Structure 1
Amino acid sequence: MKTLHDHYDVLVAGGGQAGLIAAIVAAEKGAKVCLLEGAPRTYRGGNTRHTRNLRPLHIGPLSVLSGTYDEAEYWEDLLRVTKGKTNEKLARMTLRKSAEAVSWLEQRGVQFQPPLGGTLHLGRTNAFFMGGGKQLLNALYRHAEKLGIEVHYDAMVTAIEIENGTFKRLHVGDHVISANAFVAAAGGFEANVEWLKEAWGDIAENFLIRGTPYNRGGLLRLLLDHGAQQIGEPNQCHAVAIDGRAPKFDGGICTRVDCVSLGVVVNENAERFYDEGEDFWPKRYAIWGRLVADQPNQVAHVIIDQKSKGGFMPPVFPATTANSIDELARKIGLDADILQKTIADFNAAVQPGAFDHTTLDGLCTNGLAVNKTNWARPIDQPPYSAYSLRPGITFTYLGVEVTEKAAMKMADGSLSPNIFAAGEIMAGNVLGQGYLAGIGMTIGNVFGRIAGSEAADYALNR
């Protein structure tokens, strides 16, 4: 790799949404910017390639969102999924600044689709990109090119030089690049299975990495080794239950199985282990990867009947189907007698009520060791369908601690004057645990804009 210059005003590592936005904001302020993307051009964009939406605060309906989603409700949703493990000051700032996200992106060529209907319950809370994450990336890269931002692919940072908390230069192989300010936006370490095993033990070998294989945490490790203050726990992550037939890496969002709330989930012992109807799916889907990880061999199966067909977004792989529970059990390798009893006990425990998947309908079971609190209907209408599940890791929450100006904190209590962070590499400041659909992209958008602005201000006024 050979850059046009040896020194830049602002140097950005990471070519996903957060890094791109930081680079664009800095360039729009007049800075000379270079962006380093560790992946090949075909795979540029990190986990942004796999996303579909972001979650913005808004008062009143927009062209891409229905109704109102105000700070009070947004904060309550975030507090519920994180169970209070969040920096309230940074989190509330993120929610407020998310109100600008849609218009900021639209002004730079990103297109959105009309509000989403159906059972995902997201038309009011989440703005969906027309064409998904790749369209968003392509639009932002086109805009970056117009601004003269220098972009390099296959440009993984291999070393970094920091003196007394101040960024000096970095290495991409033998090539050395310096800058007045540096933005770290190179993601977490989810594709580094050995690092995952340090946190999870040997069961991490059975995890599938639904995100990019290029997020191995190289830059994060370099920053921590050079005195950055760590935020988050190594075993906290966005962990989703995905189809067990998904590839080891890079399966993306299409491998997610979204019918859990419509059926029952059993482990390899053919036994249920958690409430499938605890809350709306976008507020609970990200706990299921961790739940499955706690089951024998990190495997589970979601079972639905004909009533639920067409009520959820179908995954990329077809279900295993059968005309009886006995036949279905044999097809998916479960004990038929135990599965039949599990289903029969569940069916007998279903209470009277009206099913309504657009609300917390209270249609529940009673008397089971694990009751289902909403959307409980008997599994009694063949053909029956099963999807096998495995833990799918999207991104990790261990990262670097930052301020409201995206400045990186050092372990000695000082602030780096010229190192800023955005995206998954600092998401643990807001997400101590749990996940809320679309908030990863919201964090990347908000802190990308802040980091780019602050980096440019420092670089141009030092």
Structure 2
Amino acid sequence: MKKTDVDVVVLGTGNAALCAAIAAKEQGASVCMLERAPKSKRGGNSYFTDGAIRCAYGRFQDLRAVLPDLDEEQIQQISMPDYGEEAFMADLLRLTDGQTDQKLANQLVSRSFDTIQWMMKQGVQFTVNENQYYEKDGKRQFWGGLPLKTKNKGVGLVQALFQRAEALGIDIKYDAKTTALKQEDQLKKLIVEIAGEPVEITANAVIFACGGFEANANMRKTHLGNEWEKAVVRGTAFNTGEGLTLALKAGAVRYGQWDGCHAHTTDYHAPKTGDFNKPGDIYKKSSYPLGLIVNVKGERFVDEGADFRNYTYAKYGKETLKQPEQKAFQLFDAQVSPNLRKEYHLPEATCYKADSVEELAEKMDVCPESLANTIRAYNQAVQPGPYNPAIKDGKCTKGVCPPKSNWALTFEKAPFYAFPVTCGITFTFGGIHVSPESEILGDDKRPIAGLFAAGEMVGGLFYHNYPGGSGLMAGAVFGRLAGEQAATFCNRTKPLSSKS
């Protein structure tokens, strides 16, 4: 069996793993990354993300430091609310029903903008999130605390981080399946199959950053419920929970909401797992606050206007999964269709178009009478008032259940559009217990020497729901922390790279 020594081993090659590897290397450690997928499918779930990343930027003036491409004319056209640490924390607490681990949340929030600046130094480029504003009175009015995204979405993010990792000389091994981890005399011995050949790697520290169990149908069924067995996997097919299993065998403990996950409505005919030939989160459907959502019986089942989509899509994906046939339809009329996001206009989008509600129902294979009754009851409940999709305008319904709390326009102007959707799972909320410094904690709540975790493997941040873009930010924050702490640990224990 081949043998090799290294200071830090990082499991995974997504955003969290790459940030961890780069941070450890910057601190002087030798680093080896192990990726179960082939090189052509590297990057984990990060490859598929839309790139929106949430941070406590404070004022727009501060955010401009990471948006160097904005010219003065563009700046004058932007109206952007402040979004500081208090606002970020308030969103986390509100959407998780106050269950987020306060210590972990504090790290995420307080280090978010500094980590954005650090990522920029690593070569990641940022741009304004074009899906986060509406044009009004000649201004781009931003909303929802998510005005920033990585240039060229998740593809651009991981490409930049891989370029930096390779420039630093970080060793990346693909087709690498870690089958065992032994801890001997403060050293970690990993047994890894690399392209089918067994290799023993000895390291001072190991960073687990290889995702949750969202791509494992049996684990989804066990922990999330039977209805999740056939859910569409919106990202990589390689996040099957093996890293979690390996960490638990090494002494880690479960933490967080193991029966919870980030889910999103996605095109009903989307691939069953992420298509590496079509990245960029092109199948999701996020403009539903502008319209209505009905199931195959033609009935509404959620308050489409409860909040901005950033704060409801993770929850409403799950609600869609509970519907008959795990199917629903997002409905829009000609009043709002010009404001639909870009993914609605892609050739991959499934769309039915009609000049009457009854004709639309027939194309949807929904009872025309049932859908017409739903639309009629909704229209009669719409209250007067100014409509503004850039703010929570309070334009609502009364006397219909469920209500629509904001952005309630009558559904009456042809042509009408229906987009069939189902639930797509993005990542699981349950993980392992880590300290605010990314150290893996044992059942005595003490750090297990030399073991760290980041990304989806960190449990305790998200419960029931989550603020859009905070998962990508958490991956970067705790990835960077894990890398720095792992390198510090190596320096205390004499790095293997310095041994003869």
TM-score by length of 2: 0.88
1:372-423 deviation per Cα after TM superposition (whole angstroms, max 9, x unaligned): 1100111101111011111110001111110011100112443201100011
For 1:163 and 1:330, the matched residues in 2 are separated by 66
Equivalences for 1:195-210 in 2 at 5 Å? 195-210=219-234
The correspondence for 2:192, drawn from 164, 172, 176, is 172
Q: Does 1:434 align with 2:465?
A: yes
Deviation at 1:311, TM superposition (A): 0.9
For 1:67 and 1:328, the matched residues in 2 are separated by 39
Partner secondary structure for residue 265 of structure 1: strand
Equivalences for 1:45-444 in 2 at 5 Å? 45-51=43-49, 52-61=51-60, 62-63=63-64, 64=66, 66-114=80-128, 116=130, 118-119=133-134, 121=142, 125-162=146-183, 168-173=188-193, 174-250=198-274, 253-315=281-343, 316=346, 317-426=349-458, 428-444=459-475
* 2:146 and 2:468 in contact (8 A); partners too: no
1:79-128 deviation per Cα after TM superposition (whole angstroms, max 9, x unaligned): 11111121011101210000212211111111112454534945853421
Partner secondary structure for residue 342 of structure 2: coil
1:167–1:216 CA distance, 2 compared to 1 (3 A) = farther
For 2:414 and 2:327, the matched residues in 1 are separated by 24
The CA RMSD over aligned residues, in Å, is 1.9
Partner AA of 1:293 in structure 2: L
Quote the residue 1:449 is aligned against: 480
* 1:408 and 1:421 in contact (8 A); partners too: yes
Deviation at 1:242, TM superposition (A): 1.0
Percentage of pairs with the same residue: 38
Deviation at 1:68, TM superposition (A): 2.6
Would you say how many aligned residue pairs link Structure 1 and Structure 2? 458
For 1:156 and 1:288, the matched residues in 2 are separated by 35
1:6-59 deviation per Cα after TM superposition (whole angstroms, max 9, x unaligned): 111111001011111111111111111101112111111101112212111122
Deviation at 1:163, TM superposition (A): 5.9
Deviation at 1:318, TM superposition (A): 4.2
* 2:258 and 2:429 in contact (8 A); partners too: yes
Quote the residue 2:22 is aligned against: 24
Quote the residue 2:72 is aligned against: none
Quote the residue 1:44 is aligned against: 42
1:114–1:303 CA distance, 2 compared to 1 (3 A) = closer
* 2:351 and 2:419 in contact (8 A); partners too: yes
* 1:257 and 1:314 in contact (8 A); partners too: no
1:293–1:163 CA distance, 2 compared to 1 (3 A) = farther
For 1:433 and 1:40, the matched residues in 2 are separated by 33
Partner AA of 2:39 in structure 1: R
For 1:312 and 1:403, the matched residues in 2 are separated by 41
Partner secondary structure for residue 340 of structure 2: coil
* 1:115 and 1:124 in contact (8 A); partners too: no
1:213-254 deviation per Cα after TM superposition (whole angstroms, max 9, x unaligned): 110111111212333110123320001111111010015621
TM-score by length of 1: 0.95
1:141-198 deviation per Cα after TM superposition (whole angstroms, max 9, x unaligned): 111112111011111222222469x662112222111100110000001000111111
Which has the larger displacement, 224-233 or 263-272?
A: 224-233
1:454–1:216 CA distance, 2 compared to 1 (3 A) = same
